A and B are shown apart, each in its own frame.
Chain A
Amino acid sequence: MSTQVPVTVLTGFLGAGKTTLLNRILTEQHGRRYAVIVNEFGEEGIDNDLVVDVDEEVFEMNNGCICCTVRGDLIRILSGLMKRADKLDAIIVETTGLADPAPVAQTFFVDQEVADRTKLDAIVTIVDAVHLELQLDEHHEAEEQIAFADVVLLNKTDLVDPSILNRVEARIKKINPYTKIQRTTSCDLPLDEILGLDAFSLDRITEFEPDFLESDHDHEHDDDITSISLASETALDYDKFEEWFSTLLRTRGQNILRSKGILDFQGMNKRYVFQGVHMLMDGAPMGDWPEGGQRTSKIVFIGRDLESMRLQEGFDACKVA
């Protein structure tokens, strides 16, 4: 009973291929037991015993956290599913086309019962190779869905020229250099490339190797989503970091979509691993640093207006003098 059921969140604009993927999950002989939570106003009704219809309800929490919104319907449905006699192997949550993924992710940080019984496995965003560029220009939600994604399914690749495909992929990478891009023609990839990834686990973050390429700052609008990664080979002071980072999330968390890091604190033999969604973060000491090896603290931010947050300066000030 104490094992947590993994939850995969599926985002993507109308027509990108979410229903195609869901139908595959529901009909393929995979020998696993899934529950699929779909929006009742979704693109087409899926009639199946494994499907639970919900009405996406985004609730603002009354906890003093100004951007803290959660999916109230998910708290209710997940709690109901956990009472079933049949143990589920995974739960898939489909969101509506224009949905902001933050409330879904935040639900797993805010509700203790949800966090005890289930765990956010990964956010998978399906994008349509033909229309993505236009959607990115017109809807900030498209950009947010990519910024949050652990995996981007670049779908309908058969319908565009390779040169356009490369351009689209570069644009995705520019928004979120840490996402894994999978090219597909009709969501045809093995389900284990999407489900059971454990992308949100702190354990998993210790594997991430961000590109330390400086992002390209040309032609950017103020509301463009960018990413910044910082590194330090000097150990950090826990108290200084705690003060800087908590103030940063409290005051600028609305513009920080995701943050992740592995940190070397002075006096701590284990790596301190954390990940955050807007103002909420979850961190713990996890696994020893390799014996005798170089300890490098790494931290990445994906968000808007990151330049103005003087992240490098704040991070540098946390280094042990």
Chain B
Amino acid sequence: MPTDPKVNGVQQRTGAPVVNASTIGEVIVVTSGDGSLRLFQPDRDPLVFNIHESVILSMARESRYLLTGGEDGRFLRVSLKGEVEEIASFGSKWVDCVASDGEHFACSSGRVAYVWSPDRSQPVPLEHQSTVGGLAFNAGRNQLAVAHYGGVTIWTRRGIKWTKSVLTYKGFHASVTFSPNGKFVVSTMQENAVHGWRLSDNADFSMSPYPAKIKSIAWAGNTPYLVTSGASEAVCWPFKGKDGPMGKGPICVAGRKQIVSCVQGFPDVNGVLAGFHDGTVVLSQIKPESDAVVLRNATGVEVTAIAVTETGSHILIGDAEGEILWFKMQ
């Protein structure tokens, strides 16, 4: 399994920090602070499309398309051929977050989340008490979670109306995600913690404390596990059964003397990729005492994005100085 990516990998340097990476089948899409979107796929040269004027703040997959939001105030849909459709423009206001469940799609700018439904051409504005930190759809359930200061609002679509219920917990909530079975919602917080709620009864649980702010989370394995950055190991919380991680501890893997800055699940093998503040990237199984394999040695630059193709054949690593490394797993 270990590989020396420098031998068979492709390296590219963008003009600005790598912000985000997404997977569509065997294609990996990566965005950076210079407004560019790059496509990497096996046996082809990488493609570069300049789509935003400045930083691409957010990206989400929408079946075979990508949704992006930028500091230029534009909310875009981009095809894998680089065709760009402007869905909305907010002028001097940033588009901070975007999301899609394949049916609905949404973006946020300031305190308002805008949600588009298949049967309506105009978006429905959903207002919040403070700036939106994160958006996530609960696929197949007509639900949108919006993280903000003081908690997470769950919007549910009934007919043409969106009705809300607010899950409160003191502090600022940034990114938000539903568990794959749709029964839990989890947010990362400004306060070095992850907070979760069980939607059936709103029972909540804190996953803390971490030594650093959690900048990256991912679902991995069949259990499944919520894998989080923010500690010197990848912290994996089990979401099995009706209680999820309540009353259980996490499994911690891939420990090093550095803080994990980015995590990503590895398909099929119950594995996790952890990128560190010093640029190291390791792969580990999610089980106690498992040995991690170093995929890339330290570079001195923080890992900001990791993505894996759907078959696990190729990996992409992006960092805070705009270096991209794309390589084949062996």
Binding site for B on A (CB under 8 A): 1, 51-53, 55, 57, 59-63, 70, 72-73, 75-76, 80, 82-85, 111-113
Whether the Cβ atoms of B172 and A63 lie closer than 8 Å is: no
B213–A72 CB distance below 8 A: no
A83-B17 in contact (CB<8A): yes
Pairwise interchain contact B111-A55, C-beta atoms closer than 8 A? yes
Decide if A84 touches B33 in the complex (CB within 8 Å).
Answer: yes
- 5 nearest interchain CB pairs? A62-B171, A83-B33, A85-B16, A85-B34, A62-B170
**Most A Cβ at <10 Å: residue of B16, B96, B172, B320:** B172
Asked if A83 and B16 make an inter-chain contact with CB atoms under 8 angstroms apart, the answer reads yes
Cβ–Cβ < 8 Å partners of A53 in chain B: 92-93
Complex Cα–Cα for A52 and B190 (A): 22
Asked whether any CB of chain A lies closer than 8 Å to the CB of B298, the reply is no
Chain B residues closer than 8 Å to A80, beta-carbon distance:
55, 57, 71, 94
Q: A53-B92, A111-B190 are in contact. Are A72 and B170 (CB under 8 A)?
A: no
Residues of A contacting B54 in the complex (Cβ-Cβ under 8 angstroms): 84-85
Residues 158-202 (chain B) with a chain A CB within 8 angstroms: 169-172, 189-191
Q: How far is the CB of A5 from chain B (nearest CB, A)?
A: 14
Please name all residues of chain B whose beta carbon is closer than 8 Å to the beta carbon of A70 when the two chains form the complex. 190
Given contacts A80-B71, A84-B55, A112-B212, contact A63 B191 (CB under 8 A): yes
The answer to whether A76 touches B96, judged by C-beta atoms less than 8 angstroms apart, is yes
**Alpha-carbon gap, A42 to B54, bound state (A):** 25
- Nearest opposing residue in chain A for B211, CB measure: A112
Whether B131 lies near A55 (C-beta < 8 A) is yes
- CB A45 to nearest CB in B, in angstroms, measures 10
B110, A55: Cβ atoms closer than 8 Å: yes
In the complex, what's the smallest C-beta–C-beta distance from B193 to chain A, in angstroms?
8
Q: Assess the A51–B92 pair: CB atoms within 8 A.
A: yes
Q: Does B130 contact A (CB under 8 A)?
A: yes
Known: A76-B133, A113-B215. 17 other contacts (CB 8 A): A1-B321, A53-B92, A55-B111, A57-B149, A59-B171, A62-B189, A62-B191, A70-B190, A75-B190, A83-B17, A84-B16, A84-B34, A84-B54, A84-B55, A85-B35, A111-B190, A113-B213
A61 touches B92 (CB 8 A): no
The complex places the Cα of A53 from the Cα of B111 at a distance, in Å, of 13
6 examples of A-B residue contacts, CB within 8 angstroms: A52-B92, A62-B170, A70-B190, A72-B130, A83-B17, A84-B34
Q: How far is the CA of A120 from the CA of B61 in the complex (A)?
A: 37
Number of interface residues of B (CB under 8 A): 35
Chain B residues numbered 127-172 whose CB sits less than 8 Å from any CB in chain A: 130-131, 133, 149, 169-172
CA distance A112 to B210 in the complex (A): 13
Q: How far is the CA of A60 from the CA of B92 in the complex (A)?
A: 27
Chain B residues lying within 8 Å of A112, measured Cβ to Cβ, are 212-213
B164 to chain A, nearest CB (A): 20
Complexed CA–CA distance, A117 and B144 (Å): 33
Q: How far, in whole Å, are A83 and B294 apart by their CA atoms in the complex?
A: 27
Set of chain A residues within 8 Å of B249, measured between Cβ atoms: none
Cβ contact within 8 Å between B190 and A72: yes
Which chain B residues lie closer than 8 Å to A62 at the CB level? 169-171, 189, 191
Complex Cα–Cα for A75 and B32 (A):
19
The CA of A106 and the CA of B55, in the complex, are separated in Å by 26
Partner of A59, one of B93, B190, B301: B190
A-B contact count (CB 8 A): 71
Choice from B92, B93, B130 contacting A57 with Cβ under 8 Å: B130
For A51, the closest partner residue in chain B by CB is: B92
**Complex Cα gap A242–B57 (Å):** 42
Q: A76–B131 contact, CB under 8 A?
A: yes
Whether B67 is near chain A, meaning CB under 8 Å from some CB there, is no
- State whether B92 touches A72 (Cβ < 8 A): no
CA gap between A84 and B52 in the complex, in Å:
12
Min Cβ gap A67→B in Å is: 15
- Which of B15, B35, B94, B169 is packed against the most chain A CB atoms within 10 Å? B94
A70 to chain B, nearest CB (A): 8
Contacts of B51 in A (CB 8 A): none
Q: Does B29 contact A (CB under 8 A)?
A: no
Shortest CB-to-CB span from B104 to chain A, Å, is 24
Cβ contact of B320, chosen from A1, A59, A75, cutoff 8 A:
A1
CA distance A70 to B133 in the complex (A): 15
Q: Does B19 contact A (CB under 8 A)?
A: yes
Bound complex: CA A61 to CA B35 (Å)? 33
B53 CB to closest chain A CB, in angstroms? 10
What distance in Å separates the Cβ of A52 from its nearest Cβ neighbour in chain B? 8
Specify which chain A residues have a CB less than 8 angstroms from the CB of B35 in the assembled complex.
85
With A55-B110, A62-B171, A80-B94 as given contacts, are A72 and B149 in contact (CB-CB < 8 Å)? yes
Closest partner residue, chain A, to B171 (CB atom): A62
B171 touches which one: A52, A57, A61 (CB < 8 A)? A61
| B262 smallest CB distance to A (angstroms) | 14
Assembly CA distance A85 to B322 (angstroms): 9
Contact A61 B130 (CB under 8 A): no
Contacts of B15 in A (CB 8 A): 85
| A60 nearest in chain B by CB position | B170
Contact of B149 among A59, A82, A84, A85 (CB under 8 A): A59
Q: For the complex, what is the distance from the CA of A138 to the CA of B122, rounded to whole Å?
A: 48
Q: Which residues of B contact A51 (CB under 8 A)?
A: 92
Instruction: State the CA gap A57–B149 with chains docked (Å).
Output: 9
- Chain A residues with CB under 8 A of B170: 60, 62
A111 near B55 (CB under 8 angstroms)?
no
Q: How far is the CA of A1 from the CA of B323 in the complex (A)?
A: 13
Query: Which residue on chain B has the smallest CB distance to residue A117?
Result: B320
Partner of B33, one of A55, A57, A73, A85: A85
| Cβ–Cβ < 8 Å partners of A85 in chain B | 15-16, 33-35, 54
